[in-house]
């Protein structure tokens, strides 16, 4: 009943909007119609937003996501026997952000709030380390997932309260783009309520971010959990992205000043048949071509629990022919897994760990250019990282 009521509400709302916007009575004032036209704007930051987005979506480069919360970073550190302390988190992130030559393959780095305000042990701000390599600093701005009342055991993303003032402060600190992650679960439906909530929250966040000088990364992650076929993932992805772009337009978000962070269209992680990179590329590009305007400069895929090699092979397959957008990566675990295991928390392993990061970054750079072969990859890089019900 709740879902059917929502559909009726949407239909009546759309009809009302259409009548008010386009069906003015002869002789009536056109002022209302003028006010209801969707003016695409991003305030005083308009040109800067477009330039920032273009810089991040530059050939052969992608995003390094190191915006794990302190709790999630603690899980990573625990896997190599380290305590979850600020100094250990700082040491690990310093290893990543000071890697020589990283800017050749990485155009942006998403940071957690703690990291945005941190410096190296020598006193250099992390944002300055990034700028020196022509890497744009970014910031995770959402406040995490909480249960969505009235849904089918689904979630919604919190963090809109106070976002404008926080975004202004992040901009002052040097951040130039933002990230907001919400999720959609196929085994849970997804319900119309959850899809609408995800799309609306992303649109409000995007508008607020642009108003404060930050390029918003729009990320409705469709979780890998489930045993559904790839056709079902495509169906849900099309529904979700249609809703997202509807509300982005309603909120006057400038499409040239955003980036997307979608999941690849794959079968559920527990589906009996795995899909080839070519199949994943076909379905994913079909979804993008049906739903994403060419005005959007960059589509930076998340890895979502795929192995390092899987994520790279799938990205490479999507770049075998020209796309209207820069199709690239925004990986966390798929760039960091081998790095972390190489480092093990030992200072003498920092250089080797940084070389491991460059190997993965270069592989994905080649994949963005459609030139990755997959030859010489280690067994470790081929190990899947999917965790059922994974939380960040």
Tens-place pLDDT, residues 146-155 = 999 999 999 9
Whether 7 has a pLDDT exceeding 50, the answer reads no
Q: Are 154 and 189 in contact (CB under 8 A)?
A: yes
**Active-site annotation holds for 239:** no
Whether 313 has a pLDDT exceeding 60, the answer reads yes
- Residues whose CB falls within 8 Å of the CB of residue 340, separated by 6 or more in sequence, listed in order: 76, 79, 80, 92, 353
From the list 68, 154, 261, 310, the catalytic residue is 261
CA dist 110 and 95 (Å) reads 15
The CATH classification number of 45-372 equals 3.20.20.70
Whether 27 has a pLDDT exceeding 80, the answer reads no
What sign does the dihedral 279-280-281-282 (CA atoms) show?
positive
Whether 390 has a pLDDT exceeding 60, the answer reads no
Whether 12 has a pLDDT exceeding 90, the answer reads no
Whether 308 has a pLDDT exceeding 50, the answer reads yes
Is the bond preceding 190 in cis, omega lying within 30 degrees of 0?
yes
265: nearest Cα among 294, 239, 232: 232
Whether 9 has a pLDDT exceeding 70, the answer reads no
From the list 68, 154, 197, 219, the catalytic residue is 219
**354 pLDDT tier (thresholds 50, 70, 90):** very high
pLDDT value of position 23: 37
The residues spanned by each domain of the chain are: 45-372
pLDDT value of position 359: 95
**Active-site annotation holds for 179:** no
pLDDT value of position 369: 98
């Amino acid at each position: 009943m709740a879902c059917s009521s929502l559909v009726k509400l949407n239909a009546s709302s759309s009809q009302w909007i259409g009548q008010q916007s386009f069906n003015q009575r002869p002789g009536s004032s056109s002022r209302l119609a003028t006010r209801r036209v969707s003016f695409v704007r991003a305030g005083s930051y308009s040109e800067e937003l477009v330039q920032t987005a273009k810089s991040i979506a530059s050939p052969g480069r992608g995003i390094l996501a190191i915006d794990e919360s302190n709790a999630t970073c603690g899980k990573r550190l625990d896997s190599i026997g380290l305590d979850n302390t600020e100094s250990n988190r700082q040491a690990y992130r310093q290893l990543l952000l000071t890697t020589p030559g990283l800017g050749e393959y990485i155009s942006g780095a998403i940071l957690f709030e703690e990291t945005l305000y941190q410096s190296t042990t020598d006193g250099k701000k992390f944002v300055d380390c990034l700028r020196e390599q022509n890497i744009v600093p970014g910031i995770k701005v959402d406040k995490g997932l909480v249960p969505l009342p009235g849904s089918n055991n689904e979630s919604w993303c919190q963090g809109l309260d106070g976002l404008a003032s926080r975004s202004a402060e992040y901009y002052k600190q040097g951040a130039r783009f933002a990230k907001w992650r919400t999720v959609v679960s196929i085994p849970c439906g997804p319900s119309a309520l959850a899809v609408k909530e995800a799309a609306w929250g992303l649109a409000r966040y995007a508008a607020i971010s642009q108003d404060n000088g930050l390029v918003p990364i729009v990320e409705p992650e469709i979780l890998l959990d489930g045993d559904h076929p790839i056709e079902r993932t495509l169906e849900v992805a099309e529904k979700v992205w249609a809703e997202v772009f509807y509300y982005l337009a309603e909120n006057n978000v400038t499409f040239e000043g955003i980036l997307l962070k979608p999941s690849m269209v794959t079968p559920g992680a527990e589906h009996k048949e795995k899909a080839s990179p070519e199949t994943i590329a076909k379905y994913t590009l079909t979804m993008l071509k049906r739903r994403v305007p060419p005005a959007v400069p960059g589509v930076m895929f998340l890895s979502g629990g795929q192995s390092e090699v899987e994520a790279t092979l799938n990205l490479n397959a999507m770049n075998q022919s020209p796309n209207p957008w820069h199709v690239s990566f925004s990986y966390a675990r798929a760039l960091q897994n081998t790095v972390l295991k190489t480092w093990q928390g030992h200072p003498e392993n920092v250089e080797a760990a940084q070389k491991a990061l460059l190997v993965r970054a270069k592989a994905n750079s080649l994949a963005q250019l459609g030139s990755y072969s997959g030859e010489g990859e280690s067994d470790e890089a081929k190990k899947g990282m999917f965790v059922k019900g994974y939380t960040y």
